[in-house]
Structure 1
Amino acid sequence: MRPSLLAAVLAALIAPSVHAQAPIDAAAAANAVQPRVLAWRRDLHQHPELGNHEVRTAKVVADQLRRLGLEPRTGIAHTGVVAVLKGGKPGPRIALRADMDALPVTEQTGLPFASKVKTTYRGQDVGVMHACGHEAHVAILLGVATALAAQKENLAGEVMFVFQPSEEGPPNAGETFGAKLMLDEGVFRDFKPDAVFGLHVWAGLPVGQVGVRSGPMLAAADEWTLTVRGRQTHGSRPWDGVDPITVAAQILLGTQSLIARQVNIAATPAVLTAGQFNAGVRFNIIPDEARMVGTLRTFDTAQREDIIARFRRTAEDFAHASGATATLDVAGNAPATVNDPALTARVRPSLQRAVGEGNVVEMPMVTVAEDFAQFANTVPGVYFFVGSTSPGVDPAKAPINHSPQFLLDEASLEVGTRAMLQVALDYLQHQ
Structure 2
Amino acid sequence: MKTNFSVLFFLKKPKNYTKGAVYFIFLRITVDGVGAEMSTSRNCEPERWNAKAGKVIGTKEDVKTLNAYLENIKAEVYAAHSQLSVDGAEITADSIKCKFLGKEEKAHTILEAIKLHNTKMKALVDKEEYAPGTLRRFEVLERHVADYVTAKYGRADFNLKRIDHEFIDGFDFYLHTVKENDTNTANKHIKNLKKIVSICRRYKWISTDPFFGHTLKSKPVHREFLTADELQKITEKQFTTARLSQVRDFFLFSCYTGLSYADVQKLKLADIGIGVDGERWIFTYRKKTDTRAAIPLLPIVASILDKYKDHPYCLHNNRALPISSNQKMNEYLVEIAALSGVNKTLGNRIAKRTFGTTVTLLNGVPIESVSKMLGHTNVRTTQLYAKVLDTKVSEDMAPLMEKFVSRYQLVNKVPESKISADTSILRKKCTPVSKMTEAVIF
One fold, TM greater than 0.5?
A: no
Larger RCO, structure (CA 8 Å, separation 6 or more): 1
Higher share of residues assigned strand: 1
* Bigger proportion of residues as helix: 2
TM-score category of the 2 structures, normalised to the smaller one = under 0.3
Larger Rg over CA atoms: 2
Q: TM-score when scaled to structure 1?
A: 0.19
TM-score by length of 2: 0.19
